[in-house]
């Protein structure tokens, strides 16, 4: 078969195909002319376009604080008006990822969507508060729109909220498309909705179409497509979330003792734990948190828990596909996953159908297993522990004894509360015990009459451990050689039977090893376990002596009670033999009170003692630091070896001693090897330099953008590497709790209403606050009234802001910049223009966006976002002024001087305004000069011209106003009816509700202005003066002409022809008049007919409009009915299960 030759293909030699082929080939060939620019100018333009296109690709490099390994789950929020199909979509998506059907969805649901990604789905209800909170944490929003109905107001409101808090990714989802029966209408609707959606988000935003519901879910293929889009979505870090830690709580527990609650009838403040994945930046224990809807709170404790929904590990990674088991994991503590519901104070296990123990062919869920395990227990915990041989350390020879029950309860508490691995607790216990033991034994030896006689009793260790459980959390730990040592973890127990133990132990200061032998010498009646200690310690002393000079700075600084002077002093005599007084400055010593001197100045320079400088007169010492200069480099290796011994004995003091041992071994053993290594290094450097210069200079040069990105990556890598491998708790102390970890956060003093009125359908967010954000001040913002908001905003009307994590009501004052001189108050916000607003409230970082609302209630049909803007400035005082005009009247006028009264009340007030500018209504400018003695408050003023008695004098002044210090956090989560939070009402609202009338100032009434015509006296120029004036200036008084004029004197008589002509003209005019009248009448008739026609048409049109409106209302009615049905259906379903 293989060697069978196929008949070769013979292309057509003639005909249309042959012609086509030839042509086609010619077309396919690369035509240089088609792609080359025709002219130089065009080439330039093309080049420029390419460069510009490249630039548009670039964006400001942002650091992503979320770790790449183990990122927190992506929050996917499903938002939309009620009845649009949010729950159905959530169930469908969970079903797609977890292969499980949730019956009732409450709170966040976390599933694994891929090897590197988890998703947290959360449904957002229709409350504006929830929408605001969700908008602040969602990474991806699935915005659901009812295709059969169109956009609703909430959708637009939500988009505006998103816009002001950093825009997360949005995917539109059109549902209920099966209700549109006609294909043409369907496509038209899709098109119209898409167009609107694109204008809202951006051109080309993704919009999904979901058709009907099958088995209570959307069609699988459509959900699959949507899930694919979700899983490949990339997220750009948002600035606000990249600088704040936050957490979306997926579980909430009340830890308050029942008794206290009972005693206070449930009204006491609660201790609450929230569980969830950390997001954003690292969360530190010292940060304050804000729970939107509740308020600011302090974190009591944070515990890292095991990930309830872990990413597939490396072993699963090897297999190409995710194993089915992993896929099935879904974490939704508030919902009924796995038949287990975590209630406030109980755990409910849902058992399907009839259930019998031992029936193995029925699948047993988590809950059933748990209950059965509990039932299986046949002995109490105490018995079990007594029977088991629990050892504190893997290495300890004796197991724990149970003569003190405290140890068990303590351990149990730790385990239950924190869920930490036993290892951690063990570690803590060990170190704790070690420190305690060490300390006590010393005390006991030196002062035998100590009040703790039973120090060697082992049963007490446990007790002590429990008594100070938090001590170790505060101490930082030091990492070295892959294992953790706590500051005071120089455990003697460890020495007991393991020789290589001290290999990893670092002594805080080397005196322990010294102490122990001395103890031994004077030991009287030391217990048996101490017997072998001396020899062991002796041996370990040799090992550790090399390390003695090095101190554990971290523990010295952060967890010892030594004064800084003592620590600093300690470093100067570190290498000296440890003196006896050094030995007794142990951790728990009373600070010497008499250290403070009168002349103890807070100074930067240290006093140099002339003695310490004396050593520099020694030539050898001078030469010894030659290696630290660039010129000393070459000479250094030889010199080091040659001269080191020389000055070693000559120079005393610390420096030399430190130098002595360590530098010797390398120096002695291989000067040759070192030289070759140096040479190799130098060659390498030279080679790199050469390469840089001659190899491809363009390649080496990277542009600004790449450089920045690389810098960011380098820093991130460093961040990861620096604290890698340190024990998690210790690491958390240094750098905080990292995003991506599942934590339990304990909050104390939480208002009881939060627990009592807890509703899982309202999201609970824990937002970390920066130190600055805890403070209050006047915040100046740039604000613009939303163009869809119907009313203008008025100064001093309360407004609800959503700024940072917070939602609060405050009283803003609007202002505008007046020629960069002053901020001038505005009574109302301007139309279509930004203005400034200043209000009192918690500080937010400049440049953070906000949106404002007049009311958060859902009753209004109008658009609720009243304004949006950005924070500009934070200050402790506001500089807003409003104009005030003082008026006065002249009571005595000299030439350009006038005495003014009625402007001020006292001479003091006048003194305050001396030199101020005044002005008359007619525009004559002047100045306040000096107060007059006689009428109180009157003053002398000069003007540029003579004023009149009838003039009013104005003084324009500026009055500075401060915004009211009003801050009212929106505590919606504390209400039983969470959608109806009511803050301070507007004045008008209060008046309306109280039935009060607006107070009216009499002077503010508008009355008709009566302006009597001014009468001026005639100007009389004295005769004498008149005579002296030149002619041009003389008053010229004209008399009316008395004589008749030439024309007036003449009489006119008509000729017969003229008479005839006039008569004829008259007749013609009469005819014309008649004609016009007739024409007008005709026109009127025609118009009448036309009007009737138009009227008829109008009536028809109205009819049609009415019909249309009826149709629309019918559709809306059907929708609401369907909603009601759905609600009913839900409740029915609930009842059934």
- Of 735-754, binders to other proteins (CB under 8 A) are 735-736
Q: 729 exposed, middle or buried (CB, 10 Å; 0-12, 13-18, 19+)?
A: buried
In the complex, minimum distance from the CB of residue 825 to other proteins, in angstroms, rounded to a whole number = 16
- Let me know: does 799 contact 793? Beta carbons within 8 Å: yes
| Non-local CB neighbours of 503 within 8 Å, separated by 6+ positions | 481, 543
Among 648, 873, 936, 1123, binds other proteins (CB under 8 A): 873
Told to check if 603 binds other proteins by CB under 8 A, we report yes
Structure tokens at 620: 């050898």
Q: Is the CB of 616 or the CB of 690 nearer to other proteins?
A: 616
Q: What torsion do the CA atoms of 1062, 1064, 1066, 1067 make, to the nearest 10 degrees?
A: 170
- Could you say which residues in the range 637-666 bind other proteins, by CB under 8 A? 655, 658-663
Among 29, 608, 833, 1013, binds other proteins (CB under 8 A): 608
Q: Is 872 in the site for other proteins (CB under 8 A)?
A: yes
Site for other proteins in 93-152 (CB under 8 A): none
Q: Structure tokens of 671? A: 């000067």
Interacting positions 1040-1079 with other proteins (CB under 8 A) = none
User: What sign results for the dihedral spanned by CA atoms 172, 173, 176, 181?
Assistant: positive
190 or 284: CB nearest other proteins: 284
3-class DSSP state for residue 157?
A: helix
Task: Give least dist CB 104 to other proteins, A.
Answer: 40
Which of 187, 645, 715, 906 is the binder for other proteins (CB under 8 A)?
715
Residue closer to other proteins by CB (options 478, 515) is: 478
Give the number of other Cβ atoms within 10 Å of residue 1039's Cβ: 5
Q: What is the rounded distance in angstroms from the CA atom of residue 830 to the CA atom of residue 792?
A: 8
In angstroms, the Cα distances linking 739 to 66, 138, 433, 1063 are 6, 15, 33, 109
Residue 187 lies near other proteins (rule: CB under 8 A)? no
Q: Can residue 596 be called a binding residue for other proteins (CB under 8 A)? A: yes
Of residues 547-566, which lie at the interface with other proteins (CB under 8 A)?
547, 549-550, 553-554, 556-558, 563-565
- The two tokens of residue 377 are 């227990």
Q: Contact 339/352 with Cβ under 8 angstroms?
A: yes
The binder of other proteins chosen from 395, 847, 922, 1075 (CB under 8 A): 847
Please state whether 1096 falls in left (phi above 0), alpha (psi between -120 and 50) or beta. Answer: alpha
For the CB of residue 972, give the shortest distance to other proteins in the complex, in Å: 22
Query: Interaction with other proteins in 425-484: which residues (CB under 8 A)?
Result: 476, 478, 480
Q: Looking at 214, 224, 260, 625, which residue binds other proteins (CB under 8 A)?
A: 625
Residue 164: C-alpha distances to residues 69, 80, 858, 917 (Å): 30, 19, 20, 45
DSSP secondary structure letters along 332-387:
-TTTTGGGEEE-SS-EEE---S---TT-TTS---HHHHHHHHHHH--S-HHHHHHH
Which is closer to other proteins, CB of 871 or CB of 932?
A: 871
**Choice from 325, 876, 1082, 1135 touching other proteins (CB under 8 A):** 876
**Which stretch, 251-259, 522-530, 733-741, 1102-1110, contacts other proteins (CB under 8 A)?**
733-741
Only segment of 250-258, 456-464, 839-847, 887-895 that touches other proteins (CB under 8 A): 839-847
Q: Is 824 in the site for other proteins (CB under 8 A)?
A: no
Q: Is the dihedral of CA 1093, 1095, 1100, 1101 positive or negative?
A: positive
Interface with other proteins includes 1096 (CB under 8 A)? Answer: no
CA distance 33 to 794: 66
Cβ-in-10-Å burial (0-12, 13-18, 19+) of 991 comes to: middle
- Judge whether 105 and 122 are in contact, CB under 8 Å: no
Under rule CB under 8 A, residue 503 binds other proteins: no
Task: For the segment 149-178, give every residue that binds other proteins (CB under 8 A).
Answer: none
Which among 276, 312, 119 has a CA at the least distance from the CA of 737?
276
Q: Does 228 bind other proteins (CB under 8 A)?
A: no
Verify binding: residue 626, other proteins, rule CB under 8 A.
yes
Helices (H), ranges, 723-826 = 728-735, 752-756
Instruction: Determine, following the binding rule CB under 8 A, whether residue 777 of this chain makes contact with other proteins.
Output: yes
Binding mask 528-547 for other proteins (x = CB under 8 A): ------------------xx
Q: Should residue 609 be labelled a site residue for other proteins when binding is judged by CB under 8 A?
A: no
Choice between 435 and 804, CB closer to other proteins: 804
Among 65, 91, 217, 785, binds other proteins (CB under 8 A): 65
The binder of other proteins chosen from 5, 51, 528, 601 (CB under 8 A):
601
State yes or no: residue 670 binds other proteins (CB under 8 A): no
**Is residue 846 a contact point for other proteins (CB under 8 A)?**
yes
CA distances (Å), 725 to each of 285, 551, 720, in order? 21, 21, 10
State yes or no: residue 707 binds other proteins (CB under 8 A): no
Q: Which of 782, 834, 940, 991 binds other proteins (CB under 8 A)?
A: 782
833 binding other proteins? (CB under 8 A):
no
DSSP code per residue over 549-564 = T---HHHHHHS----H
Cβ 635 to other proteins, closest distance in Å? Answer: 12
- Per CB under 8 A, the list member of 54, 403, 684, 722 interacting with other proteins is 722
Query: How many angstroms separate the CA atoms of 139 and 121, rounded?
Result: 10
Instruction: Give 65 or 169: the residue with its C-beta nearer to other proteins.
Output: 65
CA neighbor of 638 nearest in space, from 662, 663, 613, 667: 667
Q: Which is nearer to other proteins, 530 or 709 (CB)?
A: 709
Interface of this chain with other proteins, residues 261 to 320, rule: CB under 8 A: 281-282, 284-287
Which one, 112 or 299, has the nearer CB to other proteins? Answer: 299
The SS3 of residue 977 is coil
Question: Residues 12, 622, 679, 686: which binds other proteins (CB under 8 A)?
Answer: 622
Query: Of 152 and 735, which has the nearer Cβ to other proteins?
Result: 735
- Rg of the chain, C-alpha, whole Å: 45
Applying CB under 8 A, the site for other proteins has a residue count of 90
Q: Which of 12, 214, 535, 568 binds other proteins (CB under 8 A)?
A: 568
Does 780 contact other proteins by CB under 8 A? yes
First and final C-alpha spacing in the chain: 69
Write out the DSSP string of 98-111.
HS---SS--S-EEE
Q: Does 604 bind other proteins (CB under 8 A)?
A: yes
Output the smallest distance, CB 664 to other proteins, in A.
9
Torsion sign over Cα 17, 20, 26, 30: negative
- The residue among 451, 466, 576 whose CA lies nearest residue 510 is 576
Which are the contacts of 556, defined by CB distance < 8 A and separation ≥ 6?
508, 509, 562, 567, 570
For residue 284, the minimal CB distance to other proteins (Å) is 6
Task: Give the nearer residue to other proteins in terms of CB position, either 282 or 514.
Answer: 282
Q: How far is the CB of 874 from other proteins (least distance, A)?
A: 5
Minimum CB–partner distance for residue 118 and other proteins (Å): 24
Choice from 314, 374, 528, 718 touching other proteins (CB under 8 A): 718
**From CA 759, how far away is CA 1119, in angstroms rounded?**
27
What distance in Å separates the CA atoms of residue 288 and residue 86, rounded to the nearest whole number?
A: 34
Which residue, 397 or 663, has its beta carbon nearer to other proteins? Answer: 663
The least distance separating other proteins from the CB of residue 685, rounded to whole angstroms, comes to 13
In the complex, the smallest distance separating the C-beta of residue 293 from other proteins, rounded to whole angstroms, is 20
């Amino acid at each position: 078969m293989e060697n069978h030759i196929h008949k070769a293909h013979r292309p057509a030699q003639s005909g249309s195909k042959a012609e086509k082929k030839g042509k086609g080939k010619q077309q396919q060939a690369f035509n240089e002319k088609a792609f080359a620019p025709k002219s130089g100018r065009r080439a330039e333009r093309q080049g420029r376009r390419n460069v510009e296109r490249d630039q548009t690709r670039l964006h400001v490099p942002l650091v992503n604080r979320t770790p790449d390994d183990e990122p927190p789950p992506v929050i996917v929020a499903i938002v939309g008006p009620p009845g649009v199909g949010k729950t159905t979509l959530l169930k469908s998506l969970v079903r797609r990822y977890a292969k499980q059907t949730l019956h009732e969805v409450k709170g966040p649901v976390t599933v694994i969507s891929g090897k590197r990604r988890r998703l947290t789905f959360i449904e957002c209800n229709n409350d504006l508060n929830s929408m605001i909170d969700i908008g602040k944490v969602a990474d991806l929003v699935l915005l659901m729109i009812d295709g059969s109905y169109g956009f609703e107001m909430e959708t637009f409101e939500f988009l505006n909220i998103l816009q002001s808090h950093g825009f997360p990714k949005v995917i539109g989802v059109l549902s209920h498309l099966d209700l549109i029966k006609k294909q043409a209408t369907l496509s038209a609707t899709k098109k119209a909705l898409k167009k609107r959606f694109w204008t809202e988000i951006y051109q080309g935003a993704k919009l999904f179409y979901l058709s009907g519901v099958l088995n209570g879910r959307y069609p699988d293929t459509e959900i699959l497509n949507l899930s694919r889009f979700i899983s490949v979505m990339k997220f750009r870090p948002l600035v606000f979330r990249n600088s704040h830690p936050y957490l979306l709580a997926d579980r909430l527990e009340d830890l308050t003792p029942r008794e206290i609650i009972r005693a206070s009838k449930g009204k006491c403040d609660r201790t609450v734990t929230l569980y969830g994945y950390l997001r954003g930046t690292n969360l530190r224990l010292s940060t304050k948190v804000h729970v939107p809807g509740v308020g600011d709170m302090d974190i009591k404790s944070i515990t890292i828990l095991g990930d309830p929904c872990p990413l597939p590990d490396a072993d699963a990674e090897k297999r190409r596909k995710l194993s089915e088991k992993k896929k099935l994991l879904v974490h939704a503590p508030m919902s009924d996953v796995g038949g287990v519901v975590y209630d406030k104070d109980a755990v409910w296990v849902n058992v399907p159908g009839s259930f019998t123990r031992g029936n193995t062919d029925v699948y047993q869920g988590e809950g059933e297993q748990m209950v059965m395990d509990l039932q299986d227990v046949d002995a109490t915990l105490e018995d079990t522990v007594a029977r088991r041989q629990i050892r504190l350390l893997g290495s300890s020879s004796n197991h724990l004894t149970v003569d003190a029950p405290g140890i068990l309860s303590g351990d149990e508490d730790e385990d239950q509360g924190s869920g930490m691995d036993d290892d951690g607790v063990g570690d803590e216990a060990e170190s704790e015990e070690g420190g305690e033991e060490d300390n006590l034994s010393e005390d006991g030896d030196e002062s035998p009459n100590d009040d703790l006689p039973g120090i060697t009793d082992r049963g007490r260790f446990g007790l002590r451990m429990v008594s100070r459980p938090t001590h170790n959390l505060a101490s930082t730990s030091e990492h070295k050689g892959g294992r953790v040592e706590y500051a005071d973890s120089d455990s003697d127990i460890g020495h007991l039977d393991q020789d290589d133990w001290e290999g990893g132990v670092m002594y805080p200061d080397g005196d322990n090893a010294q102490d122990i032998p001395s103890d031994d010498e004077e030991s009287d009646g030391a217990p048996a376990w101490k017997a072998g200690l001396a020899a062991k310690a002796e041996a370990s002393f040799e090992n550790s002596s090399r390390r003695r000079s090095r101190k554990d700075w971290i523990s010295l600084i952060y967890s010892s009670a030594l004064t800084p002077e003592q620590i600093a002093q300690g470093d100067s005599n570190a290498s000296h033999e440890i003196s006896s007084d050094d030995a007794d400055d142990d951790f728990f010593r009373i600070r010497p009170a008499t250290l403070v001197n009168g002349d103890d100045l807070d100074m930067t320079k240290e006093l140099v003692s002339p003695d310490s400088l004396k050593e520099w007169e020694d030539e050898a010492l001078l030469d010894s630091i030659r290696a630290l200069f660039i010129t000393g480099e070459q000479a250094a290796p030889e010199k080091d070896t040659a001269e080191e011994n020389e000055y070693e004995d000559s120079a005393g003091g610390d420096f030399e001693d430190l130098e002595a041992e360590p530098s010797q071994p390398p120096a002695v053993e291989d000067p040759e090897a070192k030289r070759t290594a140096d040479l190799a290094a130098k060659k390498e450097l030279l080679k790199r330099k050469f390469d840089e210069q001659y190899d491809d200079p363009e390649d080496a040069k990277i542009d600004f953008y790449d450089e920045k990105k690389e810098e960011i990556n380098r820093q991130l890598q460093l961040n990861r590497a620096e604290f890698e491998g340190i024990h998690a708790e210790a690491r958390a102390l240094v750098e905080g709790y990292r995003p991506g970890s599942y934590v339990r956060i304990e909050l104390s003093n939480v208002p009881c209403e939060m627990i009592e009125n807890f509703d899982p359908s309202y999201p609970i967010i824990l937002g970390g606050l920066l130190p600055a954000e805890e403070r209050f001040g006047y915040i100046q913002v740039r604000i613009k009234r939303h163009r869809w908001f119907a009313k203008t905003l008025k100064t001093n009307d309360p407004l609800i802001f959503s700024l940072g994590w917070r939602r609060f009501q405050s009283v803003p004052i609007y202002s505008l910049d007046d020629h960069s001189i002053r901020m001038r108050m505005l009574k109302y916000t301007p139309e279509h223009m930004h203005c400034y607003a200043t209000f009192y409230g918690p500080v937010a970082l400049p440049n953070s966006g906000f949106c404002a609302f007049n009311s958060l209630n859902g009753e209004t049909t109008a658009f609720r976002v009243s304004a949006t803007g950005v924070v500009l400035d934070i200050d402790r005082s506001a500089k807003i002024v409003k104009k005030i005009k003082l008026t006065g009247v002249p009571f005595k006028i000299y030439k350009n001087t006038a005495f003014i009264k009625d402007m001020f009340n006292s001479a003091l007030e006048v003194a305050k305004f001396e030199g101020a500018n005044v002005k008359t209504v007619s525009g004559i400018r002047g100045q306040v000069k000096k107060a007059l003695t006689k009428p109180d408050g009157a003053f002398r003023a000069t003007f540029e011209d003579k004023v009149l008695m009838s003039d009013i004098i104005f003084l324009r002044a500026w009055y500075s106003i401060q915004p009211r210090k009003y801050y009212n956090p929106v505590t919606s989560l504390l209400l039983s009816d969470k959608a109806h939070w009511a803050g301070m009402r507007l004045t008008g609202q209060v008046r309306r509700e109280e039935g009060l009338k607006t107070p009216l100032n009499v002077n503010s009434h508008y009355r008709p202005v009566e302006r009597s015509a001014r009468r001026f006296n005639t100007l009389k120029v004295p005769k004498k003066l008149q005579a002296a004036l030149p002619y041009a200036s003389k008053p010229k008084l004209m008399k009316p002409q008395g004589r008749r004029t030439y024309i007036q004197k003449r009489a006119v008589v008509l000729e017969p022809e003229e008479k005839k002509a006039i008569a004829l003209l008259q007749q013609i005019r009469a005819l014309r008049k008649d004609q016009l009248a007739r024409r007008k009448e005709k026109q009127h008739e025609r118009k009448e007919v036309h009007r009737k026609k138009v009227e008829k048409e109008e009536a028809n049109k109205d009819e049609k409009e009415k019909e249309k409106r009826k149709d629309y209302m019918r559709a809306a009615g059907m929708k609401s009915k369907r909603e009601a049905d759905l609600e009913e259906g839900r409740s029915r379903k609930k009842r059934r299960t």
